[in-house]
Amino acid sequence: MNKLTHLDARGQARMVDVSEKKVTARTATASARVRMSAATLQHIVEGTHAKGDVLATARIAGIQAAKRTPDLIPLCHPLMLSKVTVDLIPDASLPGVLVEATCKLAGQTGVEMEALTAASVAALTLYDMCKAVDKGMVIEDIKVLEKTGGKSGDWTYESMQHADSKPVVETKTAVGPQLQVRFFAELREALSEDELSVELGEGEETTVAALIEQIKAKGEPWATVLNRPNLLVAVNREMSHPDSVVRFGDEVAFFPPVTGG
């Protein structure tokens, strides 16, 4: 399992030191889409919207946003982007507009966040330009489509969209269907484990509190780790609490409090 690079061993947030990385050519493309009424899309395509050229304005906003990413997203590195393109494609089948943003540089870190920021702000600008006539617009499906360069190499959304469905790791006592439990930062180091599986049958459910007690029953060092004050927990990547329900197939993650750094 990949480590969270923006957390140190104590669970504290940090800007990753990339000074030792090689300078390589890097690109990233991100997308978003804005659903709207057919009438609103027609105004955009025909250039009859009262606010003027909606697509041109959104395109400029996306390019500007890519260059301001480190001002908007904590811990992002200021980058010397060599190229930013934002394409806005009207799609009558939605109806709406597809947004694709591509960022490029020769540097020591990737440009996925810049591409995502460009696509997001371009979509927000479309909404702002048209909200007077169509408040029901929906911005959706914001994602990275592909990236190239860097140590991790090339990546595409299509090739990795099922990557989270990897087989469950079994414990020695596992005899049935599993609930995936993961540990991060200093918890992982204390346990010398980053994940385990807890038996939970299909259709069965429990709570985070009960799950903690079940794991603590394994003895040390599990009991000490899960007795830590202010322990944080996420269920399916959403922050949760002791009474939260967990079910067969869920992913539960434990990590220490995260503080600024």
Residues of the chain within CATH 3.30.70.640 domain(s) are 24-163
> With contact defined as beta carbons under 8 Å apart, do 98 and 169 qualify?
no
What is the per-residue pLDDT for 173? 39
What is the per-residue pLDDT for 163? 54
C-alpha to C-alpha distance for 112 and 66, rounded to whole angstroms:
10
Tally of CA atoms within 13 A in the half-sphere of 17 that contains its CB: 3
pLDDT digits (tens, 9 = 90+) for 107-147: 888 899 999 999 999 999 999 999 988 999 999 999 999 99
| Domain 24-163: which CATH number of 3.30.70.640, 3.40.120.10, 3.30.450.70, 3.10.560.10 | 3.30.70.640
> With contact defined as beta carbons under 8 Å apart, do 43 and 124 qualify?
no
Residues of the chain within CATH 3.10.20.30 domain(s) are 177-255
CA–CA distance from 118 to each of 112, 161, 248, 260 (Å)?
10, 22, 38, 26
C-alpha to C-alpha distance for 92 and 40, rounded to whole angstroms:
11
pTM above 0.85, yes or no: no
Q: What is the pLDDT along the chain (261 residues), one digit of tens a residue?
A: 455 455 455 555 566 676 777 889 999 999 999 999 999 999 898 888 777 799 999 999 999 999 999 999 888 889 999 999 999 999 998 899 999 999 999 988 889 999 999 999 999 999 999 998 899 999 999 999 999 988 778 889 887 665 554 444 443 333 445 788 988 877 887 888 778 888 876 678 889 999 999 998 988 888 998 988 888 888 988 888 889 999 888 889 888 775 433
Tally of CA atoms within 13 A in the half-sphere of 233 that contains its CB: 23
Which segments of 140-185 does DSSP mark as H helices, in order? 157-160
C-alpha to C-alpha distance for 31 and 114, rounded to whole angstroms:
12
CA–CA distance from 125 to each of 60, 110, 171 (Å)?
10, 25, 50
What is the per-residue pLDDT for 261? 33
pLDDT digits (tens, 9 = 90+) for 158-177: 876 655 544 444 433 334 45
Ramachandran angles phi, psi of 185, nearest 5°: 55, -130
Is residue 130 within a helix (H) or strand (E), and if so which, with residue range? helix 112-130
C-alpha to C-alpha distance for 91 and 255, rounded to whole angstroms:
43
| Domain 177-255: which CATH number of 2.40.40.20, 3.50.80.10, 3.10.20.30, 1.10.3720.10 | 3.10.20.30
71 is catalytic: no
C-alpha to C-alpha distance for 192 and 122, rounded to whole angstroms:
44
Q: Which one of the listed residues 128, 134, 194, 250 is annotated catalytic?
A: 128
Which residues does 142 contact at the CB level (< 8 Å), separation at least 6?
A: 30, 31, 32, 116, 119, 120, 123
